[in-house]
Structure 1
Amino acid sequence: MVEKTTKNMSVFDLNGVPTLGKATPLGLQHVLAMIVGNVTPAIIVAGVVGLNSADRTLLVQCAMFIAGIATLLQLYPIGKVGSGLPVIMGVSFAYVPSLIAIGSQYGIAGIFGAQLIGGIAAIIVGIFIKPIRKYFPPLVAGTVVFTIGLSLYPIAINYIAGGVGSPTYGAFINWGIAIITLSVVLFCNQFTKGYTKLASILMGIVVGYVISITFGIVDFTPVREAAWFAVPKPLHFGIEFYPSAIITMIIMYIVNSVQAVGDLSATTVGGMGREVTDKELSGGIIGNGLSSVIASLFGGLPTATYSQNVGIVAMTKVVSRFVLALAAGFILLGGFVPKFGAVMTTIPQSVLGGATITVFAMITMTGIKLIIQDELSGRNITIVGLAVALGMGITQVPQSLALFPSWVMMVFGSSAVVIATVVVFTLNLILPQKTLADEQKEREEMELKG
């Protein structure tokens, strides 16, 4: 009887229910690791589509709300929806380049329309993940992730400079605050341990924010105007459907759904000492698709598993769903407190830029790590190089597609990620498979013939 009680209270058991005293700090650890990454995409998108102060706050509030809902759905599956694994969900940076492209042309309603259809596509991928998975080896997934990282760099630099359209864009004060913020992030991440290391980005933002306040560049008006409690409003931002935007988001959802396989696998291998099952993979992807559909109706942006939280699970071996459900509860609470969202929107863009450039750099390096899981044969180098070259090249010179139909310009001229995905997927299918050994053999045969 004692053994059963001990097991049920263990933080190292999936179904363990530890005391609140033990679970609370472990849950807060997950919140600290994800909170900045969860709200920043909403702040970026709000700026691009030109939302007013109240709507910016609401978009951040909805990011918290949907992250909590999506996490709970993963922790405690309903039928075939949800993985049942200890993962934290949140708004994903991977979608930001595409969201910016769609939002710039079609506004926030166009984003949510494309997101709704994209979420349905993710559900379909989840149902058929087993046969689909083989078409997205590390080479393909890694190239996409690598391109996502590269696409995010201009966003970070523009933020560091003060934000496009700001009268102080490029000013020394903006760069100074951004560099101080970045320095704090690097110091906490590389020279400290425990909570400080875990919350290094948050620490950098706090320091940068305080410095910004002392220079009088923080406007607290949105905080004063925001309510203490409010429920997210369904369809507040509206929803509109545009074919080119939908195509873009379907491609992104397919790729990111397959990419979720990596996070779910890392969770079970690192935290539970076993491989992930097909049922867990399917349920996890279906759950994320459904979460995104729900998010599109409530004003939340696309969600994904958070790799940093997967890393915490793998490092600590704390897999109790109760611990992560408590974290989800804290996140969800933020979704009902507009003042929290309002505070987030007052963070100067230079502070966000200095803090998030490290996140974007890590996304890029994650892509490289995935790419080199496959051999760097001449074939694979050609595939990756062409995909990235065409993706980044065309989007830097979008007028090169000026005489194409407008939908082509929208789908391929504004998103390097979409182009890279199409190219790497196609080339990987049609180019003959050749290993380094095969290429070496070909060279030897050529020498013999010569």
Structure 2
Amino acid sequence: MSEPKSHSDQALREPAPRGTMLWLQSVQWMVFLLANTIAAPIVVGAAFDLPAGDVSSLVQRILLVSGGMTLLQVLVGHRLPLIEGAAGMWWALFLTLAAVATGGDKGAVLRQLEMGMIIAGVVLVLLSLLPLMGRLRDLFTPLVTGVYLILLVVSLSGSFFKGMLGITRTGGIDGTVVLMSLGVILIVLMLSLKGRGLWRSMGPLIGIVIGWALFAAFGYLDREATGEATHWFALPQLFAWGTPIWDTGIVLTSVLTGVILISNVVASILVVARTLGQEISSDTYRRGLRGNGIGSVLSGMFATIGPVPLSVSAGFISTTGIRSKRPFLIGATMVALSGLFPIIGDFFATLPSEVAYAALFVPFAQMMGFGIRDLMSLEPSPRNLQVIGFSLMVGIGVMFLPPSAIATLDPWLRNLVANGILVGLLLCLFLEHVVFRERVKNPASE
């Protein structure tokens, strides 16, 4: 099926930025991709008790994979300015398995996860060859995407506030961290609302630079560079965690995780396409899924965290107004190349997570707005209100369950039941398309 070009190309064929503006917008995309990438390896590294040098190496590998997969997707995949970053469900799977493993078992778990991501990626590539994507696209009506986006932001809001309030750092509220985080949020917000031209598009970047400088000035850069980067250039090591190990439970869980993340692929493509005013075909989803499968295989080979297209890219585009592909391509290239220089991994490992959270607060808040917008476009019928209410209440309720409540479940089932986004999304799909199925064709699927 050929790619529709009426809106798709028009949305990205705006006057391309040149000169200084081009490079500044490219750096903006680069920093945005970095901000959505470097937190995951730092947290996972701590969960698996990896030494500082290994965490720095993990950062380097994830930069290469995320930047490289972003380029692959925009060139031959879904072809949208949609960044690839560590998937929340993969991240959660890593943390869940780290919590149940002890001592030397943690090293074995990492090797089992390498195998799991490779197998999951192969399954996704095979699924992308089947004529399923048209039906999957029709499943994601405005009601479903609205519920998904709201659940996504709600699930992350706790981590955002714990970071921005200093709780993650000190165990309690740190007034200095709060003020600095608030300052970064206000800078990004004011520039995105009141700024014009260059200033509007540079909001998140300026916020990160100022926030990083403030944290350095007040002595809050507690993650020092490891100093172990003895070579200025180095190819990331394949299977850095060791030779992959087959574990049936982890392989099944990984495959299930990859299949469930198809919903993220579809929803992210749909949200960004709507932001750009594009019309997209089933082939777009199919290529995006194939790219996601390749990314999962590469993540297993390079011993990193499985990627997924990040729907927050729509919030970034809306906040900054950057719609041209050229700065996106340059920014992704710079991120991929930075994964070849160990010293860069050392350097970015010092970025305070509080600054990243604060700078991303506005784009993520925008995502909540997108979800509300989708739901407001619906008729407030009893049927729609019931589906929305049940899905949100159950999904958010699951997020508040204590870990002890599901501790007796098998690890693969525990990882699924503990995921409020997944539970709410599956319930929403079930109610929307099975229990309260409407026979009238939804305009969103046309």
TM over 0.5: yes
Distance 1:309 1:386, change over 3 A: closer
Match of 1:347 in 2: 351
Give, in whole Å, the separation in 1 of the partners of 2:220 and 2:45.
19
Q: CA deviation at 1:65?
A: 0.6
Q: Which of 380, 387, 392 pairs up with 2:384?
A: 380
Match of 1:187 in 2: 190
The 8 Å contact of residues 296 and 306 in structure 2, kept in 1 or not, is answered as: yes
Q: CA deviation at 1:258?
A: 1.8
1:126 matched to 2:128? yes
List runs of 5+ in structure 1 lacking aligned partners: 1-10, 437-450
Q: CA deviation at 1:403?
A: 5.5
CA offsets 1:266-320 (integer angstroms, 9 cap, x no match): 48x64xxx62233333212211221222123213333334556567599566346
Q: Which of 128, 153, 160 pairs up with 1:156?
A: 160
Match of 2:81 in 1: 87
1:54 matched to 2:53? yes
The 8 Å contact of residues 141 and 370 in structure 1, kept in 2 or not, is answered as: yes
The 8 Å contact of residues 126 and 286 in structure 1, kept in 2 or not, is answered as: yes
Give, in whole Å, the separation in 2 of the partners of 1:111 and 1:366.
34
CA offsets 1:17-52 (integer angstroms, 9 cap, x no match): 999889655544532443322333333443444433
Give, in whole Å, the separation in 1 of the partners of 2:313 and 2:95.
26
Distance 1:123 1:141, change over 3 A: farther
Mean Cα deviation higher: 30-39 or 200-209:
30-39
Mean Cα deviation higher: 297-306 or 65-74:
297-306
Match of 1:408 in 2: 413
Match of 1:258 in 2: 266
1:237 matched to 2:241? yes
Q: CA deviation at 1:117?
A: 4.3
Match of 2:201 in 1: 198
Secondary structure, counterpart of 1:229 in structure 2: coil
Distance 1:191 1:223, change over 3 A: farther
Distance 1:429 1:152, change over 3 A: same
Give, in whole Å, the separation in 2 of the partners of 1:248 and 1:416.
16
Amino acid at match of 1:126: S
Match of 1:441 in 2: none
Match of 1:171 in 2: 174
Match of 1:443 in 2: none
Match of 1:362 in 2: 366
CA offsets 1:395-434 (integer angstroms, 9 cap, x no match): 312444455555433320x211121122112222322346
Q: CA deviation at 1:213?
A: 1.6
TM-score (norm 1): 0.77
Secondary structure, counterpart of 1:91 in structure 2: strand
The 8 Å contact of residues 188 and 207 in structure 2, kept in 1 or not, is answered as: yes
Give identity over the alignment, percent: 20
Q: CA deviation at 1:154?
A: 1.2
CA offsets 1:157-179 (integer angstroms, 9 cap, x no match): 22123354x44642323223222
List runs of 5+ in structure 2 lacking aligned partners: 1-10, 441-446
Match of 2:143 in 1: 139
The 8 Å contact of residues 394 and 416 in structure 1, kept in 2 or not, is answered as: yes
Q: Which of 218, 221, 225 pairs up with 1:218?
A: 221
The 8 Å contact of residues 93 and 415 in structure 2, kept in 1 or not, is answered as: no
Match of 1:207 in 2: 210
Q: CA RMSD in A?
A: 3.6
Distance 1:355 1:383, change over 3 A: same
Q: Over alpha carbons, which structure has the higher Rg? A: 1
Amino acid at match of 1:119: G
The 8 Å contact of residues 266 and 285 in structure 2, kept in 1 or not, is answered as: no
Distance 1:18 1:208, change over 3 A: closer
Q: CA deviation at 1:130?
A: 1.5
Match of 2:444 in 1: none
The 8 Å contact of residues 123 and 255 in structure 2, kept in 1 or not, is answered as: no
Q: CA deviation at 1:231?
A: 1.6
The 8 Å contact of residues 98 and 248 in structure 1, kept in 2 or not, is answered as: no
Mean Cα deviation higher: 375-384 or 216-225:
216-225
Match of 1:300 in 2: 304
Secondary structure, counterpart of 1:224 in structure 2: coil
Distance 1:245 1:230, change over 3 A: same
Distance 1:118 1:327, change over 3 A: same
Taking the TM superposition and a 5 Å limit, the aligned residue runs for 1:66-105 are 66-77=65-76, 82-83=77-78, 85-92=79-86, 94-95=88-89, 96=91, 100-105=95-100
Distance 1:26 1:358, change over 3 A: closer
Match of 1:329 in 2: 333
Distance 1:212 1:64, change over 3 A: same
Secondary structure, counterpart of 1:225 in structure 2: coil
The 8 Å contact of residues 111 and 245 in structure 1, kept in 2 or not, is answered as: no
Give, in whole Å, the separation in 2 of the partners of 1:198 and 1:33.
12
The 8 Å contact of residues 181 and 351 in structure 1, kept in 2 or not, is answered as: yes
Distance 1:182 1:30, change over 3 A: closer
Give, in whole Å, the separation in 2 of the partners of 1:181 and 1:98.
31
Amino acid at match of 2:235: V
Give, in whole Å, the separation in 1 of the partners of 2:411 and 2:336.
40
Give, in whole Å, the separation in 2 of the partners of 1:415 and 1:169.
26
Distance 1:125 1:415, change over 3 A: same
Q: CA deviation at 1:222?
A: 1.7
Give, in whole Å, the separation in 2 of the partners of 1:349 and 1:17.
33
Q: CA deviation at 1:225?
A: 3.4
